[in-house]
Structure 1
C-alpha cells in the first residue's frame, strides 16, 4: 500500500528519524525512497552554485544517515520554490506517502511565513506524514486512528492496518469522538466502546490480521481530545483522515477559507505531540 515514499529533506528537523522509524516496520521494508532537497533560486550564478553544492552535501549526508538498501533509495536535487517542487515531484514519482518536517505553525502564521509543509498539505492529494521539529520521534508501536464514517477516515484505517499487520508488539488504538453537544467530555473504553458501530469494520480487520487493539469512544472537542489522548496513551503515530483540501473551482490556489477555518487536521498537526499522518480519500 505504501511502495513509494518522498522524503522532503530540508537538512533540519526530524524527517530522517521518522523515515528510519518507518523502515523498521516489516511492511515498509520494500518501499522505495526518494530523498528530495530543493535549492531556492539565487540572485547570482555564484550563489546558485554554492547552494547546489550545499544541497548535494545535504542529500549525500541524508542518504548515508538513512542506511537503506542502495537499490531502494535515490537522491534528487531540484531548483525552484520548495512548495511547488515538492508537489510536482510527488506527482512525478507517484508517491504513496510524503514525509516532511513541520515547524508546527498555526494557520495564519503558516500563511504569513510561507510555510512549505502547510502549502503542500493544502494542495497535495497524497497522504502526508508531518513531523514537528520540537517532538521526539520514537519507534512505531502504538498507532492511534481517529475514526468516523468518512472515506478519508477509512483510508487512515487502511494505512494503520498496513503498518501494523506484521509488527511484533504493535497496538492499534481506535478512537471515535463525538462533538461536545452537552457541555460534558470523557471517554469509555473496553467492551462498552466495542459496541460503537463506527468500530465494527476496524475491529473485524484487526482480529483477522491478529493485531492487538483497544477502543475508545469519547465525547468532547474532537481535535483537543485527540491531542490529549495521544499524550496520555504515549502514542507513537497518529493517523486521521483529511479530505482533499484543494478548492473545486481553482485547484491551483490555496483554499484560504479552510486554512483560516476551524479544521480538525490543522489543529492536530500543530498541537499533537507525536508525528501525524494525514490520510486522503482514495482516488
Structure 2
C-alpha cells in the first residue's frame, strides 16, 4: 500500500493563510500612516480646523485672512509705485505698466475693503517695512536705472503673490474670498505680462530669487479674525512717491460669528 500524502496545513502557515496574512499586513501599512498623521495634533487638518471661523459666506481660514491682508498690502505700495512709473518711466512701455498697476490696484483695493468689511476683518493702512524699502529704492533711482528697478522689483513681488492666489483659490471654502481670488488672479497675471512687456525683466535673476527666496517674503503679524482697534489713517511715506494719492482707510465691521 502506498503511503498517503501529507494533508496540507490549514493554519496561518498554509498557502491561503499566508496570502490573507500578507494582504492584512499591506492594508495595515497603508492605513497606519493616514491615521497617524491625519489625526495627530499640529497637522494640516487639525490646524485648519483650529484656525477657521464660521461666517455667513462660508468658513474663513487663516490662509484666507492672510490672503486678504496681502491684497491690501499690495495695493498700499504697488499703486503709488504705478503712479510713480507713469511720471518717471523713460519709455512708453514702463509708463503703460504703471498705468496698469494703478488701475488694477484701485479696483482690487475697493474689492478687498468690501470683503474685509463684510467679514469683520481689520486691514493695514500703510505698507510694511520691506514694501516701504522698495518704494524708497524706486524713488532714489533715475532714468533707465529706474525703469530696470521698477520692472524687476514689481515682477518679483507679483511672482510671489501669484502662487498664493492660486493656493487660496484652490482651497478656500469662503465665497467672498473665492471671488476676490478670481479678481486678484486676473489682475496679477495682467501685471506680470505688462511688466514683462517692458523688456527690462531679468528672467535668470528672477528665477534664482524665486527659487532661493533670497529676498525675504512679505511679512506681517496677522491679528484675530475681527478688528481689535481703530485701524487709523494712512501714514504717508517720506519722500512720498505719490503725494497726491492715498488709498481709503480700511472699513471696520463686527467680527464673524464663531461656529
Query: TM-score per shorter chain, which class?
Result: under 0.3
Q: Which has the larger share of helix?
A: 2
Higher relative contact order (CA 8 A, sep 6+): 2
Q: Which has the larger share of strand?
A: 1
Q: Which has the larger radius of gyration?
A: 2
Alignment TM-score, normalising by the size of structure 2: 0.24
